[in-house]
Amino acid sequence: MGIKMLWDTTAAPGLALPVARTVAAMVDMPVFVEENRLLLNGYDNDRKQYDARAILDRLFLQKRRLKTDDPLLLVVQHDLFDQGSDFVFGLARASAGTAVVSALRLDNRYYGRVESDPDLVERIAKESAHEIGHLEGLDHCADPECIMFPPRTLDELDRKRKVFCHPCRERLAGLRRRRIRAP
């Protein structure tokens, strides 16, 4: 079991491997990177953004085509939205084992700040580990330093540490034990 990380060519060039390594350490699971070959759907002309749910629909079809049970996580550069929010950093659908993360609003340059690869690697990794947490069955956490805390701003994302808090870690271990025992 491992995470398949599909990396869109337009997203943070050269950072796929450092991100994958960081995520693997955070979720304690292998992460395999592949170049994304899926065309993105769900573009909303009025919002000039992509509907994250439409992308997850297509990702699920791709997962069936690949005949894999491993979770698929797509990293894109495109701006994502979900109903009820102006934007989302990422979105996961646990029932389908699929998740998408956008690097766009994780990049200093989006806010007119100085570009930094280490910042970007850390943020994409945190956001990816958060979505993987959902895929494994974790809900949001109220601890602002925990990976499962839902950040609404970049500062809130930066405040999080690259770890699950103790209760979330315990819950995750329990979920994994149950999965191993299931036939």
The set of catalytic residues is 131
Residue 182 φ/ψ, nearest 5 degrees: -65, 145
Nearest-approach distance from CB 79 to Zn ion, in angstroms: 18
Using CB under 5 A, which residues numbered 12 to 31 contact Zn ion? Answer: none
Q: Does 146 bind Zn ion (CB under 5 A)?
A: yes
Nearest-approach distance from CB 47 to Zn ion, in angstroms: 21
Nearer to Zn ion, 45 or 83 (CB): 83
Q: Which tokens hold the place of 7?
A: 């990396």
Burial class (CB in 10 A: 0-12, 13-18, 19+), 85: exposed
Q: Does 55 bind Zn ion (CB under 5 A)?
A: no
Q: Does 172 bind Zn ion (CB under 5 A)?
A: no
Q: Does 143 bind Zn ion (CB under 5 A)?
A: yes
Nearer to Zn ion, 137 or 150 (CB): 150
Find the part of the chain contacting Zn ion (CB under 5 A) among 45-53, 103-111, 149-157, 170-178.
Answer: 149-157
Using CB under 5 A, which residues numbered 67 to 96 contact Zn ion? Answer: none
Residue 3 CA to residue 70 CA, distance in Å, equals 6
Residue 8 CA to residue 148 CA, distance in Å, equals 24
Select from 148, 154, 157, 172 the one that contacts Zn ion (CB under 5 A). Answer: 148
Nearest-approach distance from CB 52 to Zn ion, in angstroms: 12
Select from 100, 121, 154, 168 the one that contacts Zn ion (CB under 5 A). Answer: 168
Enumerate residues 6+ apart whose C-beta is below 8 A from 179: none
Which bin fits 34, alpha (ψ -120 to 50), beta or left (φ > 0)? beta
Find the part of the chain contacting Zn ion (CB under 5 A) among 25-33, 50-58, 79-87, 146-154.
Answer: 146-154
Nearest-approach distance from CB 14 to Zn ion, in angstroms: 27
For the chain, the helix, strand and coil percentages under 3-state DSSP, each to the nearest 5: 40, 20, 40
Write the DSSP string, 41-101.
Answer: --EETTTTEEEHHHHHHHHHHHHHHHT--S-EEEEESS-EEETTEEEESEEEETTTTEEEE
Residues that bind Zn ion (CB under 5 A): 141, 143, 146, 148, 150, 165, 168
